[in-house]
Amino acid sequence: MKFGIVKFPGSNSDEDAFLAVEEVLGQEGVWLWHKDHDLRGADVIILPGGFSYGDYLRAGAIARFSPIMREVVAHADRGGPVIGICNGFQIACEAGLLPGALLRNQSLQFVSELCRVRVDNTETRFTNEYTPGQILRLPIAHGEGRYVADDATLDRLEQNGQVVFRYVNATGEVDPAHDPNGSSRGIAGIVNDRGNVLGLMPHPERAAESVVGSADGVPLFESVLAHVGV
């Protein structure tokens, strides 16, 4: 399976994603430059973390108008899988691939830590290799990760099972003290209503080998393979 990893000016988790795809998953990775006009045959698109275009204006606001994003949106419209990680999640929201927005952390501080994330829906193409309610250790590193949407949207996301990941405490409960950025309802990751676009603030690609502290991100990528029988 071919994973296309987009490089925007200011991306910084692109290499980690590439490494996870090629060395951990044993799949093929292809680089997609932000000025490219085609996806080079990629089956799955990863919008990586970083600070595309310096986060000018709003995180992700300018990246969404990159030439490559027109192709990424068309790929998503065809039902193709897209994974937006951290800045990639922000870009996906700005591009209208996912509802809501990501705002400045409630603490006003950049947070960089290993946090606990609960898998709330294992019926997606991105989470089928996890067990329901499984608690993952995943790193986060962001200044603007507070997920917001209006109440009607949040209700709809919950009713449809689109809330895939939530920040939780050691006993697996959502709790404001363990919500690292003040996200609405502890939301760390969501899918769109068709289930082919995932956005999450934690970094599964930086939790791909136990030597770096956690390999809990690997099943996310394996789920994508399992979904199509690779």
Partner 1 sequence: MSRYRVAVHIVPRRGLLDPQGKAVADALHSLGFAGVRDVRVGRHLVIDADAPEAQSAERVVRDMCAKLLANPVTEDFEIAHVEQA
Catalytic residues: 86, 203, 205
Cα–Cα nearest to 220, from 193, 194, 189, 192: 189
Tell the smallest beta-carbon distance from residue 86 to partner 1 (Å): 18
Report the interface residues with partner 1, using CB under 8 A.
57-58, 61-62, 65, 93-94, 99-101, 103-108, 146, 148-150, 182
- The smaller minimum CB distance to partner 1, of residues 9 and 182, is found at 182
CB 118 within 8 A of CB 138: no
Phi-psi region of 215 (alpha: psi -120 to 50; beta: other; left: phi over 0): alpha
CA distance 59 to 57: 7
Least Å distance, CB 93 to partner 1, is: 8
* Residue 195 near residue 178 (C-beta atoms within 8 A): no
Cβ proximity to partner 1: between 52 and 214 the closer is: 52
- b/e burial code for range 208-217 (CB count within 10 A of at least 16 → b): beeeeebbbb
The secondary structure of 151-172 as a DSSP string is HHHHHHHHHTT-EEEEE--TTS
We find the least distance from the C-beta atom of residue 99 to partner 1, in angstroms, to be 8
Residue 122 or 181 with smaller CB distance to partner 1? 181
Q: Give the separation between CA 72 and CA 82, rounded to whole angstroms.
A: 8
Q: Give 96 or 213: the residue with its C-beta nearer to partner 1.
A: 96
CB of 108 vs partner 1, minimal distance in Å? 5
Angstrom distance (rounded) from CA 137 to CA 39: 32
